[in-house]
Amino acid sequence: MFRFADLGLSEGLITKLADCYGNDDEEGAREYVSSAFLTLTLLAIVLALAFLVVHPHVDWGALFNVRSELARQEACSTVLVLVACFLLTLPLGLVARIQMAHQETHLAALWEALGSLAGLAGILLAIRAKAGLPALVACAAGGVPLAMFFNGVWSFGIRRPELAPRLRWVKAGRVKQSAALGALFSVIQLSAAVSFQADNLVIAWLIGADRVPHYAVPMKLFLLIPAFLGTAIMPLWPAFGEAIARSEWNWVRSALLRYLSWAWTLSAGCSFALLLVGAPLTAWWTGGAIRPSALLLLGLGLWTMLCSVNGPLAMLLNAAGVVGFQVRCALLMALANVAVSIGLTMKIGLPGPVFGSAIAQAAFTVIPSSYYVWRLLRSRA
């Protein structure tokens, strides 16, 4: 839910760099990278200072609805550790966006995987040392910024030293342009966080924090599908951007249809498989502690298939600079998602949030975006 804190600059950078490469503007690319890096570094410092002021005055135990005294004590320091790890990723995360703009998503994914492995190793060490929750979270979350740091050293020091941030390449005009586009992406990110990440909080508030793992663990299984698809389709964003800059609309149209068909087929097949084996697999995974219902698995499968369709559509809209339309859709989806999720959770229990997410996404994102893209491509025929 912190992802919106970068004001959308990292996502805006992908669009700007794709446009620069489509027009062979290497100087503009250097200026955008340096300007964004400095802006996000200053932003991370400001947010850190603001959080240190606010943090002691928030009852974190009450916010997460935890009851034991140990959990209430650890909640405060755990949040502090988690926010610190996140703030480090604000400027460091730009490296992955630069790789994505060069259609090198596989490199960004490789470094992310290394960070996840480092986090897993940290978790195992923390468990072996019988550390508390703050230390466990530090080990788990610290792997990501560590991998991002070494990715930056490798990328700026060896692979693309010409893009290494320099103060002389910082331009106020580039910051203003990126910020204007980034502000819209920021709203989309915040709306997505409310829509998709508030489910656990809804369950904690309405059913109880002890029921959150019964929703979150099966969700982790299904999240593997959109995570893989998201990595696979991310190169479409800069590719569409460069093609649009060169007016290659026939390629855009054929690539979009190809990826939509591929993503839908893969997500439908994987979702159906998890619908069949998700319950025993989760029970085995958790030692019999969690066994999701068929209704919950069905809702997760529907939500996953909708995500697979929305991804390629969003890549094209991002590349075309159609951000205002996405902002309106995202805001409506967020409002509808929370309202419907709360209502369904009160009626059907644990599966309520995921059905609320699926309904809101279909009504306010997938259907409107499909219509908009159809009109856009038709006008460029």
Residue 202 near residue 338 (C-beta atoms within 8 A): yes
Q: Which of 261, 373, 258, 374 lies closest to 326, judged by CA?
A: 373
DSSP state, 287? T
Which one, of 61, 328, 19, lies nearest residue 184 by Cα?
328
- pLDDT attached to residue 150: 94
State pLDDT tens for residues 343-358. 999 999 999 999 999 9
pLDDT digits (tens, 9 = 90+) for 216-264: 899 988 988 888 888 788 888 888 888 888 889 999 999 999 999 999 9
C-alpha–C-alpha distance, residues 65 and 212, integer Å? 11
Give the residue among 276, 175, 374, 47 at the shortest CA–CA distance from 366. Answer: 374
Q: Which sequence spans correspond to the domains of the chain?
A: 1-181, 198-381
* DSSP string covering 12-55: HHHHHHHHHHHTT-HHHHHHHHHHHHHHHHHHHHHHHHHHHHHG
CB atoms within 10 A of CB 26: 12
Give the count of beta carbons closer than 10 Å to the beta carbon of residue 113. Answer: 12
Q: 62 phi and psi, to 5 degrees? A: -70, -35
Q: With H, G, I as helix, E, B as strand and everything else as coil, classify residue 252.
A: helix
Residue 187 DSSP SS3: helix
Q: How far is CA 88 from the centre of its chain?
A: 16
The alpha carbon of residue 287 and the mean position of all alpha carbons in its chain are separated, in whole angstroms, by 29
Cβ(139)–Cβ(125) below 8 Å: yes
> How is 52-96 classified by DSSP, letter by letter?
HHHGGGS-HHHHTT--SHHHHHHHHHHHHHHHHHHHHHHHHTHHH
Sole residue written with tokens 């005055």: 57
Give the model's pLDDT for residue 4: 57
Q: Is the pTM of this model over 0.75?
A: no
pLDDT lower than 50: segments of the chain: none
Q: Which residues contact 217 (CB under 8 A, 6 or more apart)?
A: 282, 285, 286, 290, 292
Give the C-alpha separation, 51 to 119, whole Å.
Answer: 24
Would you call 110 exposed, middle or buried from its count of C-beta atoms within 10 A (0-12, 13-18, 19+)? Answer: middle
CA distance 83 to 361: 29
